[in-house]
Amino acid sequence: MTIFEAILLTIVTASTPLLIAALGELVTERAGVLNLGVEGMMAMGAACSFAAAVSFDSTLLGVAAGILAGAFMAALFALVVLGFAANQVGSGLALTIFGLGLSGLIGAPFVGARRDPIPHVDVPILSDIPYIGRLFFEQDLFVYASFALTILIAVYLTRTRSGLTLRSIGENHTSANALGLPVLRTRFLAILFGGACAGLAGAYLALVYTRFWSPGMTAGRGWIALALVVFAAWRPGWLLIGAYIFGAATVLQLHAQAAQFGVPSQVLSAVPYLATIIALLLLSLRHGRAIGAPGSLGTPFVPDR
Amino acid sequence: MRIELTPRTSVSPVARALAPVAAFITSFLIAGFVIWLMGRSPIDAFDVYVLQPLSDPWSLQELLVKATPLALIAIGLSYCFRASLWNIGAEGQYVMGAIFGSWLALKTHGTDAGTWVLPLMLILGVIGGALYGLIPAFLKTRFGVNEILTSLMLVYVAQLTLDYLARGPWRDPKGFNFPQSVTFDTAATVPPILEAGRVHYGFVFALIAVAVTAVVLGRTLFGYRLKLTGDAPRAARFAGFSSKATVMAVFAISGGLAGLAGITEVSGQIGQIQPSISPGYGFTAITVAFLGRLNPIGILVAALVVALTFIGGESAQIMLKLPLDLTQAFQGILLLCVLAADALVSNRIRLVARGGGK
């Protein structure tokens, strides 16, 4: 494997957690709920998956724990924003603060532990495609899962009855409610799905990307995932492209730091965050305002009578 | 079974005032449950977290020291939140204020520059925070970029800038390679209120900010404009209030106060530049602002209450070996409970058996 190939491989690894977390948030937002707690759910997914994987020496149980932890956090958020119709921005932020703190508590006994790399699965025939074959078809199962998830969500949102229901609830919850669509139940499931995805993304970070636990290891990836949803104009296909652009930016700045160009490492570390701002700015410059945003995004649903 | 919400037609002021208290008690019960899950005694933890700091004069001083940045930042944030603008990057504005002000402290270090240094440092701190806060405001008003994500991303950028300065150009050459600057001169230090006391004049700045804000919000057209922009943006536009000017103004105010908090903390409390100068005051202040119901006096009380969790957290770490992360987890739960309690005050919640109701 050449160095070039190695760099491309790490880009795939860096992009996958962004893609998975952003896909979950995309579904949540399409249902009209803005959950700013991605970073916290992701941190909880990372801590719980790592704790479970080390305790039971099983990657599978680790992944399950990560997904459950994300979904549990999301259920807490759902209780507050759906059950009490509380402010979504504030509640999401609270979820992030809570998740970052609680993940530190859960992960503390496991600082210093390490996991072995998980096996890569070779897809026959496809992995023989020159250039991209080894890159995309000789990967771990998470990478395949992220591609499958992208396609499934795209199909679900545009081609299924339930997906259309979810979108109409996100566009206008008052009309949807008048039509007898189950607003709260759909939103609850969408929030849970978002949490499970964020938890899975966290599990990937802890079990595959770093293979150890450290507090604050999500390092703003949850927030970047949120920005990606805006960047992708709430479309799964664009999300895939956006996640890979950001994954590439993250990996390239790491290599630039290693190469020591004489630029302070902090300048390069700031690249993903500045890139996020610039991406949002360019998007607004092209379209005037954020296009594709669900109409009811972020507004609590209280049926009037 | 399902949940049914109905808006309340009238809200009793007593319920509105008691909501934060109920939220506080609920979050204590949840935190106690978490501590019990960890195999520790919640009663011991309550003693160390709350009772001991309140019965020890040194801790009481420390309470005011920690409440100072929280109150300053939260007062600023209340301007944004009242106008329904989500500045969640106060942590970055705090750091940028500290950087701007410290620049002068380090420039004049070792010279006989007179008493003008400190006031100028504080002004620079306000300017630094305000300018940094104006970036997301400008991006929002000029290009329509969502302020939530940009203000948060700028936090990371500010922290990295500080990290670079503390390890690079501003590092004390005689500091045995520790990533910290020289200790500020007396002329560049916010003095303590009482001789040999811990509480510095930053607390007075916080009190002034509270008083000024109470007048601005209650008695001026600007305060009315904020409320209208937040509650009824269309009405505000019809009334001829420019929402763009409002956005810029509130971000400048909240950034400026966060910057003031940053420079007072560095020059009054830490005394030098370090890679990290905040245990997350900028984020905790969001909890403080809501716990105080966006009301200036309420925020002052909330800042003192939340400062207690920082001090309790530190002593719990030493005495009970409970990790510091518990404090952050508690602050998150507290904010969730406060928002839920607020919503509960405005909506009635009923549990309806399936098939029933309607």
Interface ipTM: 0.88
Structure tokens of A125? Answer: 């025939």
8 Å CB contact of A302 and B5: yes
Average pLDDT over residues B183-211: 88
8 Å CB contact of B3 and A105: no
Which of residues A182 and B346 earns the better pLDDT score? A182
Give the count of domains, chain B.
Answer: 1
B48 in a structural domain: no
Average pLDDT, chain B: 88
Q: How many degrees, rounded to 5, is the angle at CA A53 between CA A48 and CA A57?
A: 155
* pLDDT tens-digit readout, A176-226: 888 888 889 999 999 999 999 999 999 999 999 888 898 888 888 999 999
B315 in a structural domain: no
Comparing alpha-carbon positions, the chain A residue that sits nearest to B135 is A277
Three-state DSSP class for residue A232: coil
Inter-residue contact B188 to B116 (CB < 8 Å): no
Contacting residues for A173 by C-beta, under 8 A, at least 6 apart: A32, A183, A296, A299, A301
B37 in a structural domain: no
DSSP letters for B279-347: SSHHHHHHHHHHHTTT-HHHHHHHHHHHHHHHHHHHHHHHHS---THHHHHHHHHHHHHHHHHHHHHHE
Contacting residues for B294 by C-beta, under 8 A, at least 6 apart: B78, B81, B82
B124 in a structural domain: yes
| Of B12, B81, B222, residue with least CA distance to A87 | B81
**Residue A20 confidence (pLDDT):** 96
Residues of B in contact with A263 (CB under 8 A): none
* pLDDT tens-digit readout, A266-296: 888 898 899 889 988 988 887 655 567 788 8
**Residue A231 confidence (pLDDT):** 84
Q: How far is A2 from chain B (nearest CA, A)?
A: 33
B327 at the A interface (CB within 8 A)?
yes
Measured between alpha carbons, how far is A107 from A88 in angstroms, rounded to an integer?
27
Least confident of A3-12, B288-297, B299-308: A3-12
A146 at the B interface (CB within 8 A)?
no
Three-state DSSP class for residue A185: helix
Which among B86, B150, B334 is the nearest to A277, CB-wise? Answer: B150
Least confident of A4-18, A131-145, B170-184: A131-145
CATH number of this structure's domain A3-287, picked from the four choices 1.10.260, 1.20.1070, 1.10.3470, 2.30.29: 1.10.3470
Residue A141 has pLDDT above 50, yes or no: yes
Cα torsion for B137, B139, B145, B149, to the nearest 10°?
A: -60
Burial B257-285 (b: 16+ CB within 10 A, else e): bbbbbbbbbbbbbbbbbbeebbebbbbbb
Measured between alpha carbons, how far is B155 from B285 in angstroms, rounded to an integer?
14
B181 in a structural domain: yes
Average pLDDT over residues B294-318: 89
Average pLDDT over residues A49-60: 93
* pLDDT tens-digit readout, A203-213: 999 999 888 89
Measured between alpha carbons, how far is B22 from B11 in angstroms, rounded to an integer?
16
Confidence of residue B58 (pLDDT cuts 50, 70, 90): confident
Which of residues B172 and B232 earns the better pLDDT score? B172
Which of residues B160 and B320 earns the better pLDDT score? B160
A253 at the B interface (CB within 8 A)?
no
Q: How far is A67 from chain B (nearest CA, A)?
A: 20
Contacting residues for A41 by C-beta, under 8 A, at least 6 apart: A69, A70, A73, A74, A95, A99, A194, A195, A198, A199, A202, A222
B248 in a structural domain: yes
Which among A93, A100, A280 is the nearest to B145, CB-wise? Answer: A280
Residues of B in contact with A290 (CB under 8 A): 144, 146
**Residue B358 confidence (pLDDT):** 36
Inter-residue contact A293 to A171 (CB < 8 Å): no
Structure tokens of B322? Answer: 């409970």
Measured between alpha carbons, how far is B19 from B206 in angstroms, rounded to an integer?
25
Average pLDDT over residues A120-127: 73
Three-state DSSP class for residue B4: strand
B104 in a structural domain: yes
B137 in a structural domain: yes
Q: How far is A143 from chain B (nearest CA, A)?
A: 27
* pLDDT tens-digit readout, A243-257: 999 899 888 888 888
Q: Which domain holds residue B123?
A: 80-280
| Of A30, A57, A31, A39, residue with least CA distance to A201 | A39
Which among A87, A266, A288 is the nearest to B161, CB-wise? Answer: A266
Which among B5, B335, B349 is the nearest to A90, CB-wise? Answer: B335
A273 at the B interface (CB within 8 A)?
yes
* pLDDT tens-digit readout, B135-156: 999 999 998 888 988 999 999 9
Element (H, E) at B6: strand B2-7
* pLDDT tens-digit readout, A71-111: 999 999 999 999 888 889 999 999 999 999 999 989 988 98
DSSP category for residue A85: -
**Residue B312 confidence (pLDDT):** 86
Measured between alpha carbons, how far is A118 from B56 in angstroms, rounded to an integer?
53
Structure tokens of A135? Answer: 């890159």
Measured between alpha carbons, how far is A109 from A218 in angstroms, rounded to an integer?
18
Q: Is the pTM of this model over 0.80?
A: yes
Contacting residues for B332 by C-beta, under 8 A, at least 6 apart: A40, A94, A95, A96, A97, A98, A99, A100, A101, A102, B287
| Of B230, B248, B221, B228, residue with least CA distance to B139 | B248
**Amino acid, single-letter form, for residue A61:** L
B84 at the A interface (CB within 8 A)?
no
